[in-house]
Chains A and B, each alone.
Chain A
Amino acid sequence: MPSIRVTIANRLGLHARPATAFAQTAGGFSASVKVRRTDGQEWVDGKSIMQMLMLAATAGTVLEIATEGGDAADAANALRALVERQFDED
């Protein structure tokens, strides 16, 4: 499964609003989206807010995002952009 790596850069980390934005963006694609911390083992479903919150991704955490199926490349690009613009917060 192709994957990309992104670093959480917003000060407050991946709290509820960013997790919601992530899951909603991921949910807009037909591709499957799996996410894990690069220092962890467990993959979670990137389309689930609850599972994204389980990553406890603080500022500086590196996440691996794996997308698969039809629009996988578009999904990866959209999610990378969302993380890189820090979920439109500080």
Chain B
Amino acid sequence: MRFREIVVEKAVIPKLASTKRDEAIAELVDALVAAKTIAKKERDEFLKAVIAREKRGSTGFGHGVAVPHVKSPTVERLAVAIGISPDGVDFNALDRKPVHSIFLLLSPEHRPEDHLEAMELIFGQLRHERFRNFLRQATTTAAVITLLEEADASRPAR
């Protein structure tokens, strides 16, 4: 699995407008709707599901990153939206720090192994401070995509 296969380029937001969790998630869901990854009529349902999941336990796992996610029976392919927040979003993170990089992950419900593989891919990079810093400092979609392509290139094929 590669970032370029799962990240929806039109759903990369280099500067999130909101610093509130639910609003930031809404920005990312709306970007996926605009990119036609999510049908318009499913927008509210997805948003509600992602927020409900956050309320059960924050996906702000520390180090300024959060990976909100939802599994859906209507999603055919795994899709990721990325939001960068220079100001930081209050995600109720486990380490209480504001979140600067958000990876919103939509996974097909019937393919739990894809979901786990995507988590591995994402955290395989997010654990590196260098990657987190570059991502946080990216100011354009192109800069984010370049960073992801570099990450893809650094992974051994398997």
**A interface residues (Cβ-Cβ under 8 A, vs B):** 11-17, 20, 49-51, 53-59
| A24 to B: closest C-beta gap in Å | 9
State A54–B120 Cα separation when bound (angstroms). 4
State A17–B69 Cα separation when bound (angstroms). 11
Over the window 109-152 of chain B, the binary record of Cβ atoms lying under 8 Å from chain A Cβ atoms (1 yes, 0 no) is: 00011011101100110110000000000000000000000000
Contact B116 A15 (CB under 8 A): yes
Contacts of A20 in B (CB 8 A): 57, 61
State A49–B56 Cα separation when bound (angstroms). 16
| A33 to B: closest C-beta gap in Å | 17
**B interface residues (Cβ-Cβ under 8 A, vs A):** 56-57, 59, 61-63, 67, 69, 94, 112-113, 115-117, 119-120, 123-124, 126-127
Known: A17-B56, A54-B124. 5 other contacts (CB 8 A): A11-B112, A12-B112, A15-B115, A54-B123, A57-B116
Contact B61 A56 (CB under 8 A): no
How many contacting A-B pairs (Cβ < 8 A)? 53
Main secondary structure on B side of the interface with A: helix
Contacts of B112 in A (CB 8 A): 11-13, 15, 58-59
Closest to A11 in B: B112
State A11–B61 Cα separation when bound (angstroms). 23
Contact A16 B57 (CB under 8 A): yes
Contact A50 B62 (CB under 8 A): yes
| A83 to B: closest C-beta gap in Å | 15
State A14–B119 Cα separation when bound (angstroms). 10
State A14–B116 Cα separation when bound (angstroms). 7
Contact A15 B113 (CB under 8 A): no
Contact B94 A53 (CB under 8 A): no
Q: What are the 7 A-B residue pairs with the smallest beta carbon separation, nearest first?
A: A56-B120, A56-B116, A53-B119, A12-B112, A50-B123, A49-B61, A58-B113
